[in-house]
């Protein structure tokens, strides 16, 4: 009897479970049926491409910067006109299970749900669905609709037809849609003539056209190409010998691609394009009829380009990058990303992350001031050694200056004394410096290592983020992320994107005021005197080891700008450029001053834009300053034999205690 009751309970439980499962299945079926009734007509969509509309890009003053077209750069060819190596490379890069799944890779979905690492869940068929049917919705409902459409497409046509449509529609960067258009644009040949290396390179572009385009970042493109070649070998699409040969093939871009650029601020326009593709998708950018309102000031852009060209005019000179922003709302006003966009599209102002040298010291300074360290506190300025993580960290001053004695933090900032800042970061801790830099606007990875006090970063920083971070000081400690696009609408005026320029408190106002006062002295009487302009300004120089990178980053109340000078290839010493070693206080500071004198109003305000401190009057300054002849190599009083001497007016606390004993 007990056994019978137990079986009855088991059967009852099973019946409940069956009922629940059946109910869920019916609900799911009803949902899927309702979704299927809302699907678009697959037949008409799969045989014709949507009509393209031109997108127009405007400068901040309303003038047209450029136009983006999509449809004219799409060339449709049959599958057999696309080289097999290109087809294979795309499958390996985007959907290795393409020929075995039914439109949705259920195995990949289950792996993702279980938190397993591996390939993504978006198949070639699903990507084709998104190309054919623009779905403005997001979330689970949208994903279910896309999955149903993928299943329907695969049920109605062959895999080869799906792949053919995909290869003719996929976006491959630089306004190129489809393998044929991309092959002609990048390499000047048909898709049927692509080499294995070229096939893998184009396949690599698909996942991120703004990152892996060989016209934008050839280094990243090559790395991605080689990854795909390795996968093709692992999956037996190619042999090891073929992989080695393809890896050794040099990337050469067709000149026709380079000519299709904006005539005004091409690096800035490409930067805007990359951002919008990430946010809105390539189809919207090139065929959606967008009206893109940017923040660029054409007058300041011309001033920036002229400043760079006038100071470094020769083709053999190092290159320069310059970014200027309005620190009050983050608007990017000017951007120079290199000498010639037509021959080098890699944007040194945004993508070029280089070591900042002493230009990173203001973040140490701000962190210290925030912890209560006085600008007039004295530190030992002699060379410094300390054990860090079982290694001895040795710090010497620039050109072995200051072998003994003490300096105030104020003086050490003026003369960029390494040993003082090394001692300072060991006292306050590198974690606080990293946190300060982050809050002020540095977005590149920065490790909490004491070497960052001297600009020793693992990845480097870009001029854009340096200008943005220094801008936080210009606004009294309020930070606004850089903004290059103020608004995007469609061709009927509907707003699609709007910039968020709300400032946030990054550091205390009194700390920003203290730091700005000290960085003002750098420009007036320290290493940055070449950056003096017609009104109040503050900033900091930076020079890396062996003169490989040189910086000046400075600001007024209305503009913050970063200038980097160096060679595109990196790690190239600048020991003799027009007869001098290039430091941050030389050409970068000079470029900054030439630009800033055009960018800012010439008359100094009665107060520092009402935000920070009142600039001292000339009477107040001259009454307390001491005129001195300083050796540029040792920062001591110059003797008659010193080869590089400059005359400055110094505060009494900054007057050297000794005469140069090196020359």
pLDDT tens-digit readout, 628-641 = 677 766 667 777 66
Supply the Cα-derived Rg of the chain in whole angstroms: 30
- Indicate if 656 and 548 belong to the same structural domain: no
- Indicate if 24 and 53 belong to the same structural domain: no
Q: Which of 178, 220, 169 is nearest to 347 (CA)?
A: 220
Confirm whether 423 is domain-assigned.
Answer: yes
Confirm whether 294 is domain-assigned.
Answer: no
* Whether the Cβ atoms of residue 493 and residue 386 lie closer than 8 Å to each other: no
Domain boundary, last residue among 287, 319, 337: 287
- Indicate if 356 and 270 belong to the same structural domain: no
Domain boundary, last residue among 262, 287, 312: 287
* Whether the Cβ atoms of residue 488 and residue 495 lie closer than 8 Å to each other: yes
- Indicate if 647 and 511 belong to the same structural domain: no
d(CA 147, CA 141): 10
Kindly tell me if the per-residue pLDDT of 9 is higher than 70: no
Confirm whether 482 is domain-assigned.
Answer: yes
* Whether the Cβ atoms of residue 438 and residue 296 lie closer than 8 Å to each other: no
- Indicate if 256 and 372 belong to the same structural domain: no
- Indicate if 166 and 31 belong to the same structural domain: no
d(CA 418, CA 32): 67
Instruction: Band the pLDDT of 195: cuts 50, 70, 90.
Output: very high
Confirm whether 391 is domain-assigned.
Answer: yes
- Indicate if 226 and 357 belong to the same structural domain: no
d(CA 299, CA 314): 24
Evaluate if pTM is beyond 0.75.
no
* Whether the Cβ atoms of residue 146 and residue 121 lie closer than 8 Å to each other: no
Q: Which residue has the tokens 């910067």?
A: 65
Contacts of 395 (CB under 8 A, 6+ apart): 383, 384, 385, 418, 419, 422, 454
- Structure confidence by residue, pLDDT tens digits, 554-577: 999 999 999 999 999 888 999 999
d(CA 322, CA 242): 43
d(CA 530, CA 632): 13
Kindly tell me if the per-residue pLDDT of 465 is higher than 90: yes
Mean pLDDT of 261-285: 87
Bridge partners, 335 (sequence order)? 323
Kindly tell me if the per-residue pLDDT of 432 is higher than 90: yes
- Indicate if 363 and 349 belong to the same structural domain: yes
- Indicate if 552 and 412 belong to the same structural domain: yes
Instruction: Band the pLDDT of 107: cuts 50, 70, 90.
Output: low
Confirm whether 533 is domain-assigned.
Answer: yes
Domain range spanning residue 442?
A: 304-615
What total of structural domains would you count in the chain? 4
- Structure confidence by residue, pLDDT tens digits, 286-326: 888 899 999 999 999 999 999 999 999 999 999 999 999 99
> What's the pLDDT score for residue 352?
86
- Indicate if 521 and 462 belong to the same structural domain: yes
Confirm whether 537 is domain-assigned.
Answer: yes
Tell me the DSSP string of 115-157: T--SS-S--HHHHHHHHHS-----SHHHHHHHHHHHHHHHHHS
Instruction: Band the pLDDT of 32: cuts 50, 70, 90.
Output: very low
Q: Which of 335, 599, 340 is nearest to 474 (CA)?
A: 599
- Indicate if 280 and 347 belong to the same structural domain: no
- Indicate if 580 and 632 belong to the same structural domain: no
Domain at 217, CATH number: 1.10.3810.10
d(CA 102, CA 633): 72
* Whether the Cβ atoms of residue 530 and residue 553 lie closer than 8 Å to each other: no
Confirm whether 624 is domain-assigned.
Answer: yes
Domain at 500, CATH number: 3.40.710.10
Confirm whether 293 is domain-assigned.
Answer: no
């Amino acid at each position: 009897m007990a056994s019978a009751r137990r079986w009855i309970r088991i059967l009852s439980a099973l019946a409940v479970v069956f009922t629940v499962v059946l109910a869920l299945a019916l609900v799911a079926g009803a949902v899927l049926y309702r979704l299927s009734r809302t699907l678009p007509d697959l037949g008409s969509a799969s045989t014709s491409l949507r009509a393209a509309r031109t997108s127009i890009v405007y400068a901040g003053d309303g003038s047209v910067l450029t136009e983006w077209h999509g449809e004219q750069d799409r060339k449709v060819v049959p599958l057999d006109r696309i080289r097999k190596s290109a087809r294979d490379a795309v499958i390996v890069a985007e959907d290795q299970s393409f020929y075995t799944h039914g439109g949705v890779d259920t195995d990949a979905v289950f792996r993702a749900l279980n938190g397993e690492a591996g390939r993504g869940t978006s198949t070639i068929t699903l990507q084709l669905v998104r190309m054919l049917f623009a779905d403005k919705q997001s979330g689970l409902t949208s994903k279910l609709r896309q999955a149903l459409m993928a299943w329907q497409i695969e049920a109605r046509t062959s895999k080869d037809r799906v792949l053919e449509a995909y290869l003719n529609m996929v976006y491959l960067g630089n306004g190129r849609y489809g393998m044929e258009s991309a092959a002609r644009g990048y390499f000047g040949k048909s898709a049927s003539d692509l080499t294995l290396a070229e096939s893998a390179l184009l396949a690599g572009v698909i996942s991120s056209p703004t990152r892996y385009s060989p016209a934008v970042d050839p280094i990243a493109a090559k790395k991605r190409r080689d990854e795909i070649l390795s996968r093709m070998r692992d999956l037996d699409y190619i042999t090891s010998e073929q992989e080695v040969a393809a890896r050794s093939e040099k990337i050469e871009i067709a000149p026709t691609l380079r000519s299709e650029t904006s005539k005004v601020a091409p690096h800035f326009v490409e930067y805007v394009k990359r951002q919008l593709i990430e946010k809105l998708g390539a189809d919207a950018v090139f065929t959606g009829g967008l009206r893109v309102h940017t923040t660029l000031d054409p007058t300041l852009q011309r001033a920036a380009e002229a400043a760079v060209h006038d100071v470094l005019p020769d083709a053999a000179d190092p290159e320069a990058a310059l970014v200027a922003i309005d620190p009050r709302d983050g608007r990017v006003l000017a951007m120079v990303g290199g000498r010639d966009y037509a021959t080098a599209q890699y944007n040194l102002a945004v993508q070029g992350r280089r070591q900042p040298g002493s230009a990173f010291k203001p973040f140490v300074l701000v962190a210290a001031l925030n912890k209560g360290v006085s600008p007039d506190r004295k530190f030992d300025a002699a060379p410094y050694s300390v054990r860090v993580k079982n290694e001895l960290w040795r710090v010497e001053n620039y050109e072995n200056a200051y072998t003994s004695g003490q300096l105030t933090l104020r003086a050490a900032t003026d003369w960029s004394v390494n040993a003082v800042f090394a001692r300072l970061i060991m006292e306050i801790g590198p974690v606080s410096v990293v946190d300060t830099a982050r809050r002020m606007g540095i977005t590149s990875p920065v490790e909490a290592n004491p070497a960052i006090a001297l600009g020793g970063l693992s990845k480097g920083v870009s001029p854009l983020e340096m200008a943005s971070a220094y801008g936080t000081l210009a606004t009294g400690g309020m930070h606004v992320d850089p903004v290059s696009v103020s608004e995007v609408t469609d061709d009927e005026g509907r707003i699609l994107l709007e910039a968020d320029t709300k400032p946030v408190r990054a550091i205390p106002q009194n700390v920003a005021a203290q730091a700005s006062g000290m960085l003002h002295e750098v420009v007036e009487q320290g290493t940055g005197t070449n950056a003096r302009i017609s009104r109040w300004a503050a900033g900091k120089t930076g020079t890396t080891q062996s003169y490989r990178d040189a910086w000046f980053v400075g600001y007024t109340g209305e503009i913050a700008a970063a200038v980097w000078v160096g060679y595109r290839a990196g790690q190239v010493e600048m020991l003799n450029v027009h007869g001098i070693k290039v430091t941050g206080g030389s050409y970068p500071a000079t470029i900054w001053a030439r630009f800033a004198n055009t960018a800012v109003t010439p008359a100094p305000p009665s107060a520092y834009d009402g935000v920070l401190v009142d600039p001292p009057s000339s009477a107040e300054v001259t009454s307390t300053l001491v005129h001195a002849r300083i050796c540029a190599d040792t920062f001591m009083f110059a003797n008659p034999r010193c080869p590089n001497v400059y005359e400055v007016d110094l505060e009494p606390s900054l007057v050297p205690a000794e005469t140069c004993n090196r020359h």
